[in-house]
Amino acid sequence: MSAIAELQSLSKTKGRKAPAKDNKAAHIFLIPWTIGLFLVTLGPMAMSLYLAFTDYNLLQSPEFTGFANIERMLDDQRLHNSLRVTFTYVLVGVPLQLAVALGVAILLDRGMRGLSFYRSVFYLPSMLGSSVAIAVLWKQIFGTTGLVNQMLEIIGIQGIGWISDPNTSLGSLILLNVWTFGSPMVIFLAGLRQVPAMYYEAASIDGASKWRQFRSITLPMISPIIFFNLVLQIIGAFQNFTQAFIVSNGSGGPADSTMFFTLYLYQQGFKQFDMGYASAMAWLLVLIVGAFTAVNFFVSKYWVFYDD
């Protein structure tokens, strides 16, 4: 089961306690994990929840300010804009990326020659994609005199500065996200392999068209995998940082058009050292990501089909 299917099934089984016969050994094996959970994860989480209600600049001790940070978030136009940018990136970028991933996976699954070669070629960008180097490359190819415009010139079109124009800069980053469709594609491919061939054979004997087979067999059979990819990619996309940072030299520009929420958080926390406000923002991000995931899980009951 995937991590997500596991969480779903755990939420259904209740009560039943484990016999707990290996307590001692388990304590030893879990020493690093337990220390990590409290010292690196839960402790800092509690701390940042406290800091969210303070004014703290790292030099003086935190000063409790009640709901001041939340009120400030409600009034902060740049923060609202960063949410708009991030939501656009997630809501456009993720579905597009997954659609391409699924489409290519289906094409490759049709028994194309040289499958493993093509799989590598498509998979590679998603492994390199989070590097600074790729963001550097993107900055050049979508620049005013970059590769894209050189190619457009060949067919006689005068391109614009895609990265430097606030109307298209976010689009260039969405395209970069689509370009890294390789990881979900590999997961889709593995899923498609598990759909029993006899379903398709039966359907084609009954005269079902390819499109009909896709809608009535492929889609329901791989719906748990679509769900898995959707949840993980959404969570990942909300946290994207590197590309927006590099492309805009850390400014989120032009005109805040690539000011991702995480970039704004970084600026507030680690450039202005406004750590109280940054903590409040971090918790807002957790709530947003949590809400998206919860809605995803809830809606999944209506469209995700489990075979067993």
Site for other proteins in 147-206 (CB under 8 A): 147, 150-151, 154, 179, 183, 186-187, 189-191, 194
Return the residue of 218, 258, 279, 300 that touches other proteins, per CB under 8 A. 279
Give SS3 for 231: helix
Q: Is 226 in the site for other proteins (CB under 8 A)?
A: no
Residues 27-86 that bind other proteins (CB under 8 A): 27-33, 35-37, 39-41, 43-45, 47-48, 51, 58
Beta-sheet pairing, 54-55 with 63-64: antiparallel
112 is an interface residue for other proteins by CB under 8 A: no
Q: Which is nearer to other proteins, 195 or 208 (CB)?
A: 195
Could you tell me how many residues of this chain bind other proteins (CB under 8 A)?
97
Quote the CA–CA distance of 259 and 244 in Å, as a whole number: 7
Residue 213 C-beta: closest distance to other proteins, Å:
21
- First vs last C-alpha separation in the chain: 12
Q: Cα-flanking dihedrals φ and ψ of residue 95, to 5°?
A: -60, -40
* Nearest distance, CB of residue 15 and other proteins, angstroms: 10
The CA distance from 304 to 308, in Å, is 12
Residue 11 CB, nearest distance to other proteins (Å)? Answer: 9
Whichever of 170 and 284 has its CB closer to other proteins, that residue is 284
Residue 124 binds to other proteins (criterion: CB under 8 A): yes
**Binding of other proteins by 105 (CB under 8 A):** no
Give the up-direction half-sphere exposure of residue 8: CA atoms within 13 A in the CB hemisphere: 20
Q: Which amino acid is at 232?
A: L
Q: Of 78, 244, 239, 91, whose CA–CA distance to 169 is shortest?
A: 244
Q: Stretches 20-28, 75-83, 87-95, 210-218: which one binds other proteins (CB under 8 A)?
A: 20-28
Q: According to CB under 8 A, which one of 71, 131, 212, 299 is a site residue for other proteins?
A: 131
Residue 267's nearest CA partner among 284, 288, 249, 247 is: 249
For 13, the token pair is 């089984």
Q: Residue 223 is encoded by which pair of tokens? A: 């719906």
Q: Confirm or reject binding of residue 133 to other proteins (CB under 8 A).
A: yes
CA 35 to chain CA centroid, nearest Å:
28
Stretch of residues binding other proteins (CB under 8 A), selected from 75-83, 89-97, 200-208, 284-292 = 284-292
- Written as six digits, the tokens of 92 are 């456009």
> How far is Cα 229 from Cα 183, in angstroms, rounded to an integer?
9
Among the candidate windows 68-76, 166-174, 198-206, 234-242, which touches other proteins by CB under 8 A?
Answer: 234-242
Contacts to other proteins from residues 259-278, by CB under 8 A:
262, 265-266, 269-270, 275, 278
